[in-house]
């Protein structure tokens, strides 16, 4: 058969079709395996795999100044990226009682995270909400806000004292809990018929993990704007750069641990009752490469 010259429009059309097919195949392959990272690092049927990676922020020996730097950096990052808080507030609004004041009980609050912005977003939508912040390592000086109260005693998210009422929220922290503990958190909310809202600020897909490679640069850019300001943050960012390194490592590991919607379904599958409903989905946030998994659990009439 006579070969077409490379400049022939027919041959160029063939090349274009072939490259679209190849790109399409890659996209399909990516879609099929997008939760592969979760499945490798987190076996929700058989418990924690022996090679589950550690996060510095989870270690008892990790110096408080570095742990606070991590969560203070997160709170600052939320401020420069407000669409995230908006997306979360939109979902929280769906579980709040309309026309009456509500209280949020935030678990694993770190340095307060996006709570001031979330309360602002809820207020714009007509909800009057107060928030109680809690953590295993409370950081009460991290936020000063009229509608926010910090509980100074440590609160373990896996053993929430029953007298702490309110809509339970957890942001960027559910991945810290291996499957058994994660399920215990959901079970407690389910058995006490409390509303619970779980959100993550990243996802365990390949793109989600790849996006973490910007984080060291973001830390270098944002650390001077972290509040409350501490000279130690600058010392350990620019002179002895442990803060960018530990935040980068914990960022990568946390994305690998984030529960995918399918895994969240498995965690809630045994927690079924006619008067309690789970909603599991993904939030599309402009500027982020992939959708963010979320879970809502609430009593239904
Ligand atoms: C990645 S930070 C997230 C902080 C905050 N929610 C945010 O979005 O910025 C995770 C937080 O979970 C807290 N934490 C880890 N294990 C916990 C537990 N068992 N109970 C309560 N808090 C815990 C850590 O102390 C840390 O402040």
CB 102 within 8 A of CB 127: yes
Choice from 55, 71, 106, 246 to test ligand 1 binding pocket (greatest atom count within 8 A of CB)? 71
Q: Report which of residues 11 and 150 the model is more confident about.
A: 150
pLDDT digits (tens, 9 = 90+) for 52-105: 789 999 999 999 999 999 999 999 999 999 999 999 999 999 999 988 999 999
Pocket of ligand 1 (CB under 6 A): 57, 71, 74-75, 107-110, 113, 135-137, 156-158, 171-173, 176
Tens of pLDDT, residues 28-40: 544 444 444 444 4
Q: What angle do CA 215, 133, 268 make, to 5 degrees?
A: 80
Identify which of 71, 260, 76, 266 has the alpha carbon closest to the alpha carbon of residue 172. Answer: 71
What lies within 8 Å, CB to CB, of 215 at 6+ separation is 244, 247, 248, 251
What is the predicted pLDDT for the residue at 35?
47
Band (pLDDT 50/70/90 cuts) for residue 288 is confident
For residue 250, the ligand 1 atom closest to its alpha carbon is: 1
CA pair distance 137, 150, nearest whole angstrom: 11
How far does residue 274's CA lie from ligand 1's centre (Å)? Answer: 31
Q: How confident is the model at residue 286 (pLDDT cuts 50, 70, 90)?
A: confident
Q: What's the CATH class of domain 36-299?
A: alpha beta
Q: What is the pLDDT of residues 218-256, one digit of tens each?
A: 999 999 999 999 999 999 999 999 999 999 999 999 999
pTM for this predicted structure: 0.87
pLDDT > 70: percent of the chain: 83
Asked whether 190 and 273 are in contact (CB, 8 A), the reply is yes
Binned at pLDDT 50, 70 and 90, residue 204 comes out as confident
Q: Whose CA is nearest to atom 13 of ligand 1?
A: 108
């Amino acid at each position: 058969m006579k070969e077409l010259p490379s400049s022939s429009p027919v041959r160029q059309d063939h090349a274009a079709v072939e490259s679209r097919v190849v790109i399409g195949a890659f996209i399909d392959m990516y879609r099929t395996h997008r939760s592969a990272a979760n499945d490798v690092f987190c076996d929700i049927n058989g418990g924690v795999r022996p090679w589950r990676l550690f996060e510095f922020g989870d270690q008892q020996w990790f110096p408080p100044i570095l742990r606070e730097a991590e969560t203070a950096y997160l709170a600052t990052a939320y401020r420069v990226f407000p669409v995230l808080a908006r997306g979360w507030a939109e979902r929280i609004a769906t579980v709040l009682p309309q026309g009456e004041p509500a209280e949020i009980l935030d678990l694993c609050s770190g340095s307060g995270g996006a709570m001031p912005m979330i309360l602002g977003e809820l207020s714009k939508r007509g909800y009057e909400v107060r928030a109680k912040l809690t953590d295993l390592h409370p950081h009460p000086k991290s936020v000063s806000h009229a509608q926010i109260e910090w509980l100074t005693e440590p609160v373990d998210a896996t053993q929430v004292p029953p007298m702490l009422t309110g809509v339970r929220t957890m942001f960027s922290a559910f991945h810290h809990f291996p499957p058994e503990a994660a399920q215990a958190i959901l079970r407690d909310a389910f058995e006490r018929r409390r509303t619970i809202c779980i959100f993550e600020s990243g996802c365990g897909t390949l793109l989600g993990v790849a996006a973490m490679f910007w984080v060291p640069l973001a830390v270098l850019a944002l650390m001077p704007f972290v509040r409350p300001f501490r000279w130690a943050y600058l010392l350990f960012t620019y002179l002895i750069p442990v803060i960018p390194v530990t935040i980068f490592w914990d960022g990568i590991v946390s994305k690998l641990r984030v529960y995918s919607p399918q895994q969240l379904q498995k965690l809630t599958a045994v927690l079924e009752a006619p008067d309690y409903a789970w909603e599991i989905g993904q939030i599309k946030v402009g500027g982020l490469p992939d959708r963010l998994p979320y879970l809502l659990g609430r009593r239904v009439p």
